[in-house]
Amino acid sequence: MTEVKLAVGYNEYEDGQRMNTEIERLSASPEAAQLTSLIIGDWGQAYENSSDEVVEALVKHSGSFPSLRKLFIGDMSYEDCEISWITQTDLSPLLAAYPELQSFTIQGGTNLELSNLQHDKLEELIIITGGLGKKVLSQIAAGSLPNLRKLELYLGVDNYGFDGSLEDILPLIQPGKFPKLTYLGLKNSEIQDEIAAALADAEVLDQLHTLDLSLGTLSDTGAEALLASERIKGLQALNLSYHYMSDEMVARWRKSGLPADVSDQQKSDDDEDWRYPSITE
Amino acid sequence: MMQSALPLILLCSPGDKRTAGIQQARSRLGLPPALTVPYGELLEGVPLSELLERQLPDAVLSGALEQSMTGIQTAGPTPERPERQRTEGRTLLRLESPGGSFALERALIALGAPDAGEQDDSLHPFGQQHDPYPLSVQAAGQLKELPGVLHHPSQWFRGYCRLLARVQWEASRILPAARWQNHPGDIAAMTDKRRTQQLLAAAGVPVPRPLGGAQPPADYESLRGLMLSERMHRVFIKLACGSAASGVIAYQINPATGAELAVTTIGVEQYITRPPVYYNSGKLRRYTVSSVLSGIINWLYSHGAYTEQWIPKAGSAGVSFDIRQLVVLGEAGHSAARVSTTPITNLHLRSKRMTPAEAGLTDEEQHQVRRTAVQALSAFPRSAIAGIDVLVSSGSSRRTYVADVNPFGDLLYDVEYEGCSTYEWEMKKLMEHRIISS
């Protein structure tokens, strides 16, 4: 596998470097034909500049990357841009331009769209956001991804763009929606309990080996629903890490013999509110 | 060897970790213990001479005084960098951190009061500027210890500069031949980030671009105006005299949506009938509401603050880091990468510590960090030791920038260099340069 990451940092952007010319240069390089994985990092002040030019350049030069199987748009940290401020665009033209793609990861939900989500070979779709809009959720539900094995959605919070509700998530878990799906992540959500309760006895569980409900606000309420389910017993992995469950509930999971990851228990704010003196070093 | 009995005088809080570290280092190297002059008693008004006499046999002190009469004239109020000749046995004065106790903080705020009597503000880099809502000596004396509360940062700093000026003057009278490891004037300059960055920039050391240049922001409104007009949408605002993460805000404006976001350790207690109380929280907070943000930011500027471009720091997998690099007499020694999942990397905010190599710096990048740190300390020619905070920018350019110069930045636990702790290595270098004798 050959992988390249392109990034235009603050300095480079100020110096006039642009992501579309970086993509063009890569497309003309000898390694382009063998490239299997491409990571697009910061394209320069992504809170202001959308990924439009990235999409345009990657579509234009798609013929130069015949081996590309894995694509990541927006791999940047808070040092470059807040995740919830990364400005995306309609990324579905990339799927049409790369029919052999197997894995597609997107970070940043602002202005994100997947208007025409059709791909016969895509196996992984991962969307990392601080808040995923219901429009995108409906576009995913309306899409056609017959070969999808892994769907991982960081749903986020109202403040950062999650304007949906459980009703917008349910279509994604309809039986037969993604016939080959084995990994479902509906995570990083502020309605994690509702999602857990809705999934606990959902038919989709029967086809999964992993259910990932991590990084959200899961509490004892959602956990009770999961524990009461017969269906979760067929899972090979249940990721509940980063949660707000009680010590008792964590102990129940440990005793259950189920393959649940209940690490990274969060405490109430009071415990975190320690103060430190100003002059300590 | 009478002179060798007084190689090092520490102005410090005896018994704290720093003093213990220095004494331990000296004992390991077979050096006599340093004499300690407690800040507490200095601040009660006890003269330096009296505090020294208590510890020194008369003969030794008079020996020192006698030596000073015939000694070299460089060691007056503005001593130059130590010369090599005649250094054996000359006393070295070392100022340690004045932090660590509320009693000292309160006494320094009192010393910075407008009614603290005739005081010398000459070491305060911006001494002519007024401190907001000054506290009288009496009011300062009545301050209660409240965990983390920032009682009066600018008046604290004024008091600290006055103390530095006083010990400098007293030392020049009783020990004119003595030298400062770091000159009090340099320590005052290093403790004021505005002056630090000015001096670094003037010396050609790479620093993050200051917002506003010669017309820096003075409040929330001018901050936002300058950020938009200079297109510097992400900045660090730092309390000028803050230590570590105290009074630091990572602030950004989204020019597309108008949203704003601050990440900081500053917590606020709001009251209806009196002004808010600001404190250092152990938990990073995120503020997005203008009315709250303007309150915090205006308060910070009223006490003096420095604003610079937020350089995206190098890192990987959701973490970023900066490097604390110890420099002693032009040589880079111990270093530690402070790795954090937040923009603020200070160690006591539960950052993880790694070696620079573990953090992902190449040999050449490590070399560049060390070179930059040495260059930074050379901007303070009257100082021998400092811990320099160096950033490496993300992206392909990987440039180095100096974010801070810490006169007491050598308290690094469990980091060794050439088989030594930080304090042992410092003592060795001071001996090699014949600044202290064995």
d(CA A173, CA A184): 9
For A64-73, how does the pLDDT look when each residue is reduced to its tens digit (9 = 90+)?
Answer: 999 999 999 9
Contact A273 B259 (CB under 8 A): no
A93 touches chain B (CB under 8 A): no
pTM of the predicted structure, to 2 decimals: 0.88
Q: Which two tokens stand for residue B236?
A: 């660090």
Residues of B (99-118) whose Cβ lies below 8 Å from A:
99-100, 102, 105
**A128, A154, A281: best to mutate for the B interface, most B CBs within 10 A:** A281
Q: What percentage of chain A reaches a pLDDT higher than 90? A: 88
Select from A11, A78, A275 the Cβ nearest to the Cβ of B343: A78
Distance of CA B60 to the CA centre of its chain: 33
Residues of chain B with pLDDT under 70: 1-6, 57-89, 347-350, 438
Which member of B243, B288, B393 has the closest CB to residue A11? Answer: B393
CA dist., res. B60 & res. B192, Å (int): 37
A105: phi then psi, degrees, rounded to nearest 5: -120, 135
B265, B282, B395: residue with CB nearest A9: B395
Helix axes B17-28, B422-432, angle to 10 degrees: 50
* Nearest CB to A280; choose among B99, B102, B342: B99
Closest-CA distance, A190 to chain B, in angstroms, reads 17
Cβ within 8 Å, pair B242-A79: no
| C-alpha to C-alpha distances, B83 to A85, A144, B72, nearest whole angstrom | 56, 79, 10
What is the rounded distance in angstroms from the CA atom of residue B387 to the CA atom of residue B323?
10
Beta bridge partners of A265: A243
Assess B198–A contact: CB distance below 8 Å, yes or no: no
Residue of A nearest to B254 (CA): A47
Q: How far is CA B254 from CA A10, A45, A86, A108, B231, in A?
A: 15, 10, 10, 15, 10
**ipTM value:** 0.82
The DSSP letter of residue B242 is: -
Measure A49 CA to nearest chain B CA, in Å.
9
For the cut 70, the answer to whether the pLDDT of residue A210 exceeds it is yes
Q: Are A186 and A198 in contact (CB under 8 A)?
A: no
Q: β-strand B248-253 against B305-309: which pairing, if any?
A: unpaired
With an 8 Å Cβ cutoff, are A276 and B409 in contact? no
Task: State the Cα–Cα distance between residues B360 and A277, nearest whole angstrom.
Answer: 32
pLDDT of residue A275: 65
Instruction: Let me know: does B435 contact B384? Beta carbons within 8 Å.
Output: yes
Query: pLDDT tens-digit profile of B16-58?
Result: 999 999 999 999 999 999 999 999 999 999 999 999 888 776 5
Select from A14, A39, A77 the residue whose CB has the most chain B CBs within 10 Å, as the one to mutate to test that interface.
A77
In B, which residues are within 8 Å of A78 by CB distance?
A: 320, 342-343
CA angle A189, A190, A196 (to 5 degrees): 65
How far is B438 from chain A, CA to nearest CA, in Å? 28
User: CA B277, CA B271: separation in Å to the nearest integer?
Assistant: 8
Q: Is B17 on the interface with A (CB under 8 A)?
A: no
Give yes or no for a contact between B315 and B341, defined as CB atoms under 8 angstroms apart: no
Local confidence band at A276 (pLDDT 50, 70, 90 cut-offs): low
Q: For an interface test with A, which of B209, B394, B413 has the most A Cβ atoms less than 10 Å from its Cβ? A: B394
Given an 8 Å threshold on Cβ–Cβ distance, is B394 in contact with A9? yes
CA distance B420 to chain A (A): 20
The residue with tokens 């017959």 is A146
- The torsion angle over the Cα atoms of residues A215, A219, A225 and A231, rounded to 10 degrees, is 30
Chain A residues within 8 A of B243 when measuring between CB atoms: 278-281
Q: Does A8 touch chain B (CB under 8 A)?
A: yes
| CB-based contact, A275 to chain B, within 8 Å | yes
Residue B422 forms contact with A (CB below 8 Å): no
Residue B352 pLDDT: 83
Number of A to B CB contacts under 8 A, please give it.
124
A31-49: burial string, b at 16+ Cβ within 10 Å, e else: ebeebbbbbbbbbbbbbeb
Identify whether the C-beta of residue B63 lies closer than 8 Å to the C-beta of residue B3.
yes
Indicate yes or no: CB of B411 within 8 angstroms of CB of A274.
no
Using the Cβ of B86 and the Cβ atoms of chain A, whether some distance falls under 8 Å is answered with no
Within a 10 A sphere around the Cβ of A108, how many other Cβ atoms? 27
Instruction: Specify the pairing of strand A124-128 against strand A150-156.
Output: parallel
| Structure confidence at residue B72 (pLDDT) | 37
Radius of gyration over every alpha carbon of chain B, rounded to an integer in angstroms: 22
Q: List pLDDT tens digits, range B136-186.
A: 999 999 999 998 899 999 999 999 999 999 999 999 999 998 999 999 999
Tens digit of each residue's pLDDT (9 = 90 or more) over A126-156 = 999 999 999 999 999 999 999 999 999 999 9
Residues facing B330 on adjacent strands:
none
Q: Which of A8, A87, A159 sits opposite B256 (nearest CB)?
A: A87
> For A73-85, what is the mean pLDDT?
92
User: Nearest CA to CA, how far is B347 from chain A (Å)?
Assistant: 10
